Amino acid sequence: MPAVRNPLTGLALTILSALGLSFLVGLPILFLPAPEIALLYLPFALFGIGMFAGRSSYIGFMGFAGATLGAFAGTYVFRILFLPAGWPMWPLGWEILLDVGFALACGLGGLATGKLGLRRLERLTANTPKVRRCRKCGAKVGLTARKCWDCKAYLPPT
């Protein structure tokens, strides 16, 4: 039976992968002959990054939140390090709005694949046994119970 991770671990993995990949996807901007093309290319690339990063989360909202936070941090750090003058063809002082827009594009990708992860989790748990029965009295007990709640008999290990 496959192991199920903690959902917060999936959120952390989503944030870290979106952060790293959104920083890396900005590097080609430095080598483009016309950096204005970046404003057309980045939202689509970040949507794909969100789809990739959102696969590690189980719930759609966690995929959205993790991909949005990670992409915002990644694009913000990229802009601070490599584009001190700001995004091309964008008014000065409003760069943060473009960073938020890019992060939301990435978050939408995380939302799309996070929902698919929830369906995968439901499929995994549908095939697992929910309870087991006591051999002595027949009462339903949990999978990890050591003693029957009804007759107090010890249960065999699972």
pLDDT digits (tens, 9 = 90+) for 105-128: 999 998 888 666 556 667 766 766
Inter-CA distances, 134 with 127, 137, 157, Å: 21, 6, 12
**What is the structure's pLDDT at 45?**
94
Q: Which two tokens stand for residue 139?
A: 């009462």
Could you tell me what percentage of the chain is helix, strand and coil, using 3-state DSSP and rounding each to the nearest 5?
65, 5, 35
**What is the structure's pLDDT at 49?**
93
Domain extents in the chain: 7-127, 131-158
Amino acid, single-letter form, for residue 34 = A
pTM strictly above 0.75: no
pLDDT digits (tens, 9 = 90+) for 60-80: 788 899 999 999 999 999 989
What Rg do the C-alpha atoms of the chain give, in angstroms? 23
> What span, in angstroms and rounded, lies between the C-alpha atoms of 96 and 116?
31
Chunk the chain into consecutive blocks of 10 residues (it has 158) and report each block's average pLDDT, rounded to whole numbers: 67 92 90 81 92 82 90 93 82 86 92 69 67 83 83 82
Q: Positive or negative, the Cα torsion across 1, 55, 61, 66?
A: positive
> What span, in angstroms and rounded, lies between the C-alpha atoms of 106 and 24?
14
